[in-house]
Structure 1
Amino acid sequence: MPSTLEEALESLVVIFHKYSGKEGNKSTLSKREFKNLMQNEFTSEQKLSSKDIRKLMDELDVDQDQELNFQEYITFLGQVAIFCNDSLQAFL
């Protein structure tokens, strides 16, 4: 039986591949694929605008190939996790 952490990691990988490859390379997220992921998987009331998502993608796209590879995606998730941790610290 996988641990909670193992299940969480598997979910991160599965979500990446749920959106990658619909347009071209199955190992990367295009701008449209990343936008769809952001709009569908982050359900908070404060959604990012299309412009903000494009800006975020440009910042994450270290190799500037107009796509996010898995490492760039995980870097993004790490940044989100740090933000969540910082936000939760105020309540602990």
Structure 2
Amino acid sequence: MSDVQRAMTLLIAAFSKYAGKEGDKHTLSKAELKELLQKELGDLLGKADDKGAVDRLFKGLDTNQDNSVDFKEFTNMVSCLTVMCHEYFTQK
């Protein structure tokens, strides 16, 4: 498996690990998103413990306003974070 294929598999696995603990296994609730942020992204986001920050992030990710974050919405966040990290590291 190529590096990109492994990365895709890991993203799917990470999403699946947290989705569905409170219902729909294809979406993240706000609590599930918070747990994912804290355990998988750790210090990268820094404010995952800040309820207001989590609320704002959840609202921004939930583009279809169904009060959950689906895989497409999740990957949009991961993509944006990846671009920001790439820009940060290429400027150093």
> Does TM, normalized by the shorter one, top 0.5?
yes
Could you tell me which runs of 5 or more consecutive residues in structure 1 were left unpaired when the two chains were aligned: none
Q: What do you get for the CA RMSD once the two structures are aligned?
A: 1.2
The aligned counterpart of 2:38 is 39
Residues 85, 12 of structure 1: alpha-carbon distance in 2 compared, 3 angstrom cutoff? same
Report the Cα distance in structure 2 between the residues aligned to 1:45 and 1:70, rounded to whole angstroms: 20
Asked if 1:7 is matched to 2:26, the reply is: no
Distance 2:51 2:61 in 1: 15
SS at match of 2:78: helix
Q: Give me the whole-angstrom Cα distance separating, in 1, the residues matched to 2:58 and 2:45.
A: 18
**TM-score, length-normalised on structure 1?**
0.91
Between 1:33-42 and 1:45-54, the stretch displaced more is: 45-54
| Amino acid corresponding to residue 52 of structure 2 in structure 1 | K
> What is the alpha-carbon distance in structure 2 between the residues aligned to residue 9 and residue 87 of structure 1?
22
Going by fraction, where is helix more abundant, 1 or 2? 2
Change (3 A) 1:17 1:89: same
Counterpart of 1:43 in 2: which secondary structure? helix
Which 10-residue stretch deviates more, 39-48 or 2-11? Answer: 39-48
TM-score w.r.t. the length of structure 2 is: 0.91
- Number of residue-to-residue matches in the alignment: 90
| Identical positions, percent | 31
Task: Assess, with a 3 A threshold, how the Cα gap between structure 1 residues 57 and 26 changes in structure 2: closer, same or farther.
Answer: same
Opposite residue 28 of structure 2, the aligned amino acid is: L
Distance 2:62 2:45 in 1: 23
User: After TM superposition, what 4+ stretches of structure 1 lie above 2 angstroms from structure 2?
Assistant: none
Match of 1:86 in 2: 87
Please state how far the C-alpha of 1:51 moved relative to its aligned partner. Answer: 1.4
Question: Compared with structure 1, are the counterparts of its residues 47 and 12 closer, same or farther at alpha carbon in structure 2 (3 Å cutoff)?
Answer: same
* Offset, 1:9: 0.8
| 1:46 Cα deviation from its structure 2 partner | 5.8
